[in-house]
Amino acid sequence: MRAPVVLLSLVLLCSLANALGVSRLNDVNPLLEEIIYTTNQDFIKNHQDKIEIKPFVVDGLLYRVTVKGGQLSNLATLALRGDNQVFDQTDGEGYSLFNYDLFVGLQEINVKLDYEYTFLHFIGGSGTVDLSTNTDTVRAKGTLTSYDSGKCEAVLQSAQVTEIGNFNIQFTPDSIGKRFLKFFTSFIANYIVPHVKFVINHYVANIVKNDIPKSDFSKIVCKPLVV
């Protein structure tokens, strides 16, 4: 199963506590913390706390960067962001409809990449770069329908990155050349990326639309509600 399916599904599971009849987030914090802890442990148990990054190449007029592979990790640090969480319930004949609007993130995102680079076709090098940040927020919207018969349907309508930045960047091994590369990478990550969230969100929207199997998402989210 694709990691985004699990991540967004577990996010919604963390907010199902509001369906117990408690309207204020502060009143269910202990239960939310317990659910978040359990789901994060499931991430680790099912080896879904890491995502392998496939090799790719970035070509410029004067440079070429080859990422030989890498890893996105710490996905098992899922947490709610703030207290502005919405999980509204509307009861109908034989069913209950929940509209959710959640803000979530990871306590720390860590990206590790192995790379090679050339500049002006004769200056080059290789090494490893680590990028980490705890400044990340995703807003997820959708619906969940729970039927009296025991059936359940969950829909993820949209997911949007609302905050990203404050990256800490480390290169190994370190050198004078790497320090320039670190400055360049830091500039892109911390000054460019936060201003081009629309590019990230275009990618996220495509994942939601094309890469997240609706049946899998519904199955995970509805697991605690199905009789």
In CATH, what number is assigned to the domain containing residue 146? 3.15.10
pLDDT of residue 93: 92
Spatial CA neighbour of 217 closest among 148, 172, 161, 152: 152
Q: How far apart are the C-alpha atoms of 121 and 62, rounded to whole Å?
A: 7
> For 76, which DSSP code?
T
What is the residue-averaged pLDDT of the chain?
75
Provide the residue range defining the domain that includes 175: 3-222
Q: Which band of pLDDT confidence, cut at 50, 70 and 90, is reported for residue 18?
A: very low
Confirm whether 91 is domain-assigned. Answer: yes
Question: The dihedral of CA 191, 170, 203, 100: what is its sign?
Answer: negative
Given a cut of 60, whether residue 45 has pLDDT beyond it is yes
Confirm whether 126 is domain-assigned. Answer: yes
Residue with tokens 């985004």: 4
Confirm whether 79 is domain-assigned. Answer: yes
pTM: 0.66
Confirm whether 116 is domain-assigned. Answer: yes
Confirm whether 103 is domain-assigned. Answer: yes
Confirm whether 133 is domain-assigned. Answer: yes
Domain count, the chain: 1
Confirm whether 227 is domain-assigned. Answer: no
Mean pLDDT of the 126-141 span? 86
Confirm whether 28 is domain-assigned. Answer: yes
